[in-house]
A and B are shown apart, each in its own frame.
Chain A
């Protein structure tokens, strides 16, 4: 039950307006208070607006119950609130600028951290898929045309510390050269491939076919795919690839023959 029996005895009212003081309605009054507030969040402003407007509504309704017209009742209620600038100035003291800044900075930092986490997780997840694909389906990254040129799949691996270099296929280029396909991945999930791995081939035409050092190999990569075009000596069944990892060298024979489909 409402306990209010008698209204506010505020003496200010429409008579003030008649003396040259601008009469405000509820909306104008709250707008004048909010206009004077600085460094207050939009949500806090809305709370203040609702509360002041509600107060004037309560006051005006009571006056209307006593026979006042709505417009006059609302102007009286607004006049009874006092100078909006004074209310604004006093309210301002309750809203600390420092905490608002700290809050906003923390909010921005939090958003950045969340974005960073999502990006990092997404990147790590992608890396895991790439590592799995390299080990189980190495030709999947190829286009149709490149895949059509593959003549023989291989599974020749060379351990280079945590990274593994794998020769996974040989093919035939449009120019009739032999293409050796290889990839490098890190055995440890979420780790990039080592950058100090190189390949050279031991046969007369090999000098210009050293490992492709361009592209992204020297960037961080989950898996590095590469290929070298060779012209094997006539009649050779294999060429020797020398894999270098730091100061170590490992020689492996790469078959360069394949069965020709009838």
Chain B
């Protein structure tokens, strides 16, 4: 079985950002909404993931004022991040299909 190259949370965050720039809390809410509550996470652990992606050049960040006037840090995919997402998503689909195939055989 092929080992996943990227941690799932990193892949999920890249996937979220492919639909637009987001700030941290927005990502948490979106992740829960899109996964129908399956991917609920301890919210603070999102930031090590984001900072790691930023360090690796897969995302970058900018600040924009929130309605309250406070500056929010928004994250966006870089070109390198888009390429990584494309590759990892393909690998994931292949992996998921393989799991499905095995489960399909076992539980048919």
Where the two chains meet, the residues of A that have a C-beta atom closer than 8 Å to any C-beta of B are 2-11, 33, 47-48, 50-52, 54-55, 57-59, 61, 80-84, 86-87, 90-91, 93-95
Chain B contacts for A80, CB-based, 8 A = 42-43
Chain B contacts for A48, CB-based, 8 A = 47
Residue of B nearest to A30 (CB): B44
* Residue B32 interfacial (CB < 8 Å): yes
In the bound complex, how far is the Cα of B67 from the Cα of A2, in angstroms? 9
Answer whether A94 and B48 are a contact pair too, CB < 8 Å, given A8-B25, A54-B73, A58-B25: yes
Interface of B is mostly: helix
Once A and B bind, how many residue pairs between them come within 8 Å at the CB atom? 91
Interface size in chain B (residues, C-beta < 8 A): 29
**Between-chain CB contacts (< 8 Å), 8 pairs:** A4-B30, A47-B73, A51-B73, A52-B47, A54-B71, A55-B24, A59-B43, A80-B42
Chain B contacts for A9, CB-based, 8 A = 32, 37, 40
Interface-central residue, B26, B44, B45, by most chain A CB under 10 Å:
B44
Chain A contacts for B26, CB-based, 8 A = 3-4, 58
Nearest Cβ on chain A to B27's Cβ, whole angstroms: 10
* Residue B51 interfacial (CB < 8 Å): yes
Where the two chains meet, the residues of B that have a C-beta atom closer than 8 Å to any C-beta of A are 23-26, 28-30, 32-33, 37, 40, 42-45, 47-49, 51-52, 54-55, 66-68, 70-73
B40 touches A10 (CB 8 A): yes
Q: Out of B33, B49, B70, which one reaches A54, CB within 8 Å?
A: B70
Nearest Cβ on chain B to A122's Cβ, whole angstroms: 41
Given contacts A59-B43, A81-B43, 8 further A-B pairs with CB under 8 A are A4-B26, A50-B71, A51-B73, A54-B71, A58-B23, A58-B24, A87-B45, A93-B52
Chain B contacts for A81, CB-based, 8 A = 42-44
Residue of A nearest to B32 (CB): A9
In the bound complex, how far is the Cα of B67 from the Cα of A57, in angstroms? 12
Answer whether A91 and B40 are a contact pair too, CB < 8 Å, given A8-B25, A8-B28, A8-B29: no
A55 touches B25 (CB 8 A): yes
Chain A contacts for B54, CB-based, 8 A = 94
Chain B contacts for A87, CB-based, 8 A = 42, 44-45, 47-48
